[in-house]
Copies of this chain bind each other. A is one copy, B any other.
Amino acid sequence: MAESKEKDWRFKLHEVIYESNKPAGKVFDVALLIAILTSIIVVMLDSVVSIHKQYGTLFSHLEWIFSILFTIEYILRLICIKKPLSYVLSPLGIIDLLALIPSYLSIFFIGAQSLLVFRALRLLRVFRIFKLGHFLTEINFLTQALKGSVRKISIFLLTVLTLVVILGSIMYLVEQRENGFSNIPESIYWAIVTITTVGYGDISPVTPIGKFVASVVMLIGYAIIAVPTGILTHDLAMASRLKKELPESCPSCSREGHDTDAEFCKFCGAPLFRD
């Protein structure tokens, strides 16, 4: 009897923590989101010198409350799941752990103070929000298209990196160690700033030949930005064709949330496609 009761308790906890489509789970997820965002804002404000001077102690207390809360949450997640290890090793589990460690490290090591910045990783947990809305179809669709683009995009990035090294070296030769182009890595940094059309202006060509080379770099950057866009658009169209125009809701029971490779409704078993 006692064991069954315990089972009940763990089952209920699992429902609250992991099942966001149940009312209790929804409330838990929303509360967790608010806690994460608040803790991030505390980290941010604490880095502002003037605010830190006034509210520093409050912030460090709040930080500890959040750290303890997230630790309790992490332990509860481990307790109520059947296979705790698979959670610990899942991407979300690793992020949850990474976001916890810095606070505890700062007790033992003084140098670990700077690690506190890694608490910003907590923000990654915000992606849980998509469990609340029905964004899974869109996420699946986007990740599938991105997966299809990975090889083409990596060819593109290698080409850009090669271009940037060569153009940076030429510029180093042209501007002759003056005007900020003091060494090749610096010139490559300039080439990246230019080819991506960011253009800080911290380093910019001064000599006429330098300006001519820079113009060529800019026009190259302007033209090749079309490449990743073209690739992705094309692969979205491919992913979409594979999807066979998946209906957002089942045509017979009208419930949503089917996988992109589903052929039949997972709720009522009716076929999802007409033809």
What mask results when residues 90 to 127 of chain A are scored 1 for a CB within 8 Å of chain B, else 0?
00000000000000000000000010011011011011
- Is A47 an interface residue when CB atoms closer than 8 A count as contact? yes
A197 and B49 alpha carbons, distance in the complex (Å): 28
Chain B nearest CB, measured from A158 CB (Å):
7
Chain B nearest CB, measured from A169 CB (Å):
4
Question: Is the pair A202, B204 in contact by a Cβ cutoff of 8 Å?
Answer: yes
- Is A265 an interface residue when CB atoms closer than 8 A count as contact? no
What mask results when residues 188 to 215 of chain A are scored 1 for a CB within 8 Å of chain B, else 0?
1100111111111110100010011011
Interface residue stretch chosen among A15-23, A137-145, A266-274: A137-145
- Is A87 an interface residue when CB atoms closer than 8 A count as contact? no
Q: Which of B44, B153, B234 contacts A233 (CB 8 A)?
A: B234
Q: Which of B40, B49, B151, B184 contacts A183 (CB 8 A)?
A: B49
Question: Is the pair A172, B117 in contact by a Cβ cutoff of 8 Å?
Answer: yes
Interface size for A (C-beta < 8 A) is: 84
Chain B nearest CB, measured from A2 CB (Å):
44
Question: Is the pair B222, A230 in contact by a Cβ cutoff of 8 Å?
Answer: no
- Is A247 an interface residue when CB atoms closer than 8 A count as contact? no
Q: Which of B123, B152, B186 contacts A166 (CB 8 A)?
A: B123
Number of copies: 4
Question: Is the pair A169, B126 in contact by a Cβ cutoff of 8 Å?
Answer: no
- Is A227 an interface residue when CB atoms closer than 8 A count as contact? yes
A43 and B166 alpha carbons, distance in the complex (Å): 12
Closest-by-CB residue of B relative to A50 is B183
Contact status of A184 and B237, CB under 8 A, knowing A124-B162, A198-B199, A225-B222: no
Question: Is the pair A226, B223 in contact by a Cβ cutoff of 8 Å?
Answer: no
Interface residues in A23-73 by Cβ distance below 8 A to B read 40, 43-45, 47-49
Contact status of A162 and B199, CB under 8 A, knowing A155-B130, A225-B229: no
Contact status of A236 and B231, CB under 8 A, knowing A135-B155, A162-B126: yes
Chain A residues proximal to chain B, CB less than 8 Å: 40, 43-45, 47-49, 114, 117-118, 120-121, 123-124, 126-127, 129-130, 133, 135, 138-139, 141-142, 145, 151-153, 155-158, 160, 162, 165-166, 169-170, 172-173, 182-186, 188-189, 192-202, 204, 208, 211-212, 214-215, 218-219, 221-223, 225-238, 240
| A–B complex contacts, Cβ < 8 Å, 5 sampled | A138-B155, A192-B219, A195-B222, A201-B201, A229-B233
